[in-house]
Structure 1
Amino acid sequence: MGWKTLDDMDLNGKRVLVRVDINVPVVDGTVTDATRVQRIVPTVRYILAAGGKPILLAHFGRPGGERRESLSLKQLVPTLENAFEAQVLFAADCVGSEAELAAEALQPGQVLLLENTRFHAAETKNDPDLAAGMARLGDIYCNDAFSAAHRAHSSTEAIARLLPSCAGRLMQAELEALEGALGAPKRPVTAVVGGAKVSTKLELLGNLIDKVDYLVIGGGMANTFLVAKDINVGKSLAETAMKDTAADILTKADKTGCKIVLPRDIVVAEKFEANAPHQVLPSDQCPDNSMILDAGPESVAEITEVFAQSHTLIWNGPLGAFELEPFDTATNAAALKAAALTRSGQLVSVAGGGDTVAALNASGAAHDFSYISTAGGAFLEWMEGKTLPGVAALEH
């Protein structure tokens, strides 16, 4: 890969502009989930230990280019200080004289947090002047926000072309995990793609067919593929308008030698609610008044057998209505099998996407996966084979 890491930079005495993702949930001024903050701790601590002075660039919410106190990053200072175990100073803008004075006054061992980059409408337009204003604050640019790397913004793309640039520890880990899973993986490679709609993951499926040996399709997406095979899915969530597209994907998979795994048996219920009365049936016997809410035990057995034959697994999306018990059974069982194989060293497992992370956490399997990406859109676009502007800019 053509990008540098923190190990390639002389940080001593340097002001390091670090683009981070600390877009965390806040209720009544209190951070309710500090996961994203914890993920940037290794980068910040490394810079401090190397004698550098970290200056954090970040967005928060969607202020639409307006200054809104409810979306000020100032409220995150206590959480950041607790995570970094260092003093965190705050500047009320990310460019301009106040930010420049704060950057100049920064002492070794301190961290400077700049105000929400999206208080400037120019940020999302990748404005070069805004980027130049940010660049004046530092000597080195470090991007540690893979989750924002699919956006060409001033703080993710334009600025990287103005300063010596590198990837932070989180960005580095994301890129190495994804490169290992899709760039040069150990075969056989299996991808699990679930979720509601085929239409939102068309490019993903098209890219994966050429790159993986097995493609496990679950969730509402699987129903659309069953429809493409002229199987009745009753009241199930399915995109009947995508029937021909799904059929084309099945045909292309045959030509490339990619084996598509669809449910052999299904768990059906008449109501979409937790613990609704349900039954297990062959996948082609869904009653007209029922909906498919999960894959059945035969399907799980096939999926886990595929996992056992694989060396690399990429996972995006649940296999059923995982938010409702007991329709989380297939997702949980498959996740725990993947976790066990990873633990034993047989499998490299990489997962990402909001629902995926939630499902794997709920199953208790998450901590045994090789890598779990907290990046939603960026993770998907990478899997789709797209160039991410924030990554490409580091390769200049």
Structure 2
Amino acid sequence: MAAAVLAALTLLLTRCGPADTTTGGPGPTGASNTDPALGWGFTHTEYSADTGDDDAVARARMLLSAQGLPQNQAIMGWGAGNPEPSPGVYDFSDLDRRIAYIRSTKGTPVITLCCAPDWMKGGRAGAGRTDWSVRALESAPLPAHYKDFAALAARVAARYPDVRHFIVWNEFKGFYDDSGGRWDYQGYTQLYNQVYAALKKAGADNLVGGPYLVMDSYGPQDQTYASALKGPWGSVDQRVLDAFTYWNKHKKGADFVVVDGADFTRTGQTLPDAFGATDKLTAVSDWVRERSGLPLWWAEYYVEPERSGWSEQRRVATQAVGMAALARGGVSTAFYWSPEERGGPCPGCLWRPTQQSAGGAGLPMYALIAKFAGAFPPGTRFTAVDVAAGDARAVRVLASAKDMLVVNTLDRPVDAEIDGRSLRLAAYEVRWLTRAHAQH
């Protein structure tokens, strides 16, 4: 992942207290969802809507319950404590709380099987002694403990029998071979195959995906790892494509394929500009789908470099264009990485932080994702639209037979003729329209 994004993620890692070794857990709330195409949702991070002021938590629950978006949660870190601080000693209290909250909002829960307890990575075992440093958390299990991690995955699946969607690991964390200057895709694939087998044994309806690789790219000034997957936005790192190709060939099986990444380069360049860079998301999606033949998930996607200084209006506009780029690439599921904080302006947040008494109300980013999820579910057929504007690059449009998303990518108003109607769009405006010929 780009260094800027990785730095942002480290701020979201959870620190937990002493272990609670309770067993058992909440039961299922309804029928299993065994569709690998879930649509548009978000990932819970360290601070989320399950804790804080009671009234704020209730408001957020009401907001999320209106549509029931798919929601992703890791088993360790990003709001969840160490699930197995010592071999055979379990603490699922945090994960129980998160999964229960997702159920309470009528969302489809998804579990990312990352990260691993210390003792699986060569660290110390024991309740209350988890090393939450970034380096420790992002270490991969040792090969001798792949079987133990697979067993933990199976136990998680058994604990939450209504959860059917599982992502194996996160961004190849700990699987980089420094001596070889490449990803240890053999090691990851060994871990993946053991987890895949354990989950399928735990429940034939469990859906499993990987490899959750970061599709890093470089600008034209850096050709060291250039590949044939390129465009005006840059070139995807060949080492990443090699890792994907190996996993795709040697995996035991998969129900969906998972990637993540940013539309900007590893040095934070948005090429040729912030909106044009989103075309990378379409190109990568096409490349992966053509080679895997599986439903495609983006576990994370980023369109804004760190310290961009963007207004929320510009941020939402760029996000809208990025989501449209993913949709054009045939993506069946995508999770927005929720940057919730305890307070402050919280740029890009989905709801006002529930740690505040006035929290829980929806913000513009949530409104965008919820509307997009309803208008453009998986399998939507997109249609061409006639667009005329003073600046041909000014307006981006995504349209189905019924709904149309229109985005002004300029920092000034623009007049446009779209689908036979005249519009005046404010700077960075995101507007939803119903097609005039849609059937009602």
TM-score (norm: length of structure 2): 0.29
Say which structure is richer in helix.
1
Q: Output the TM-score relative to the length of structure 1.
A: 0.31
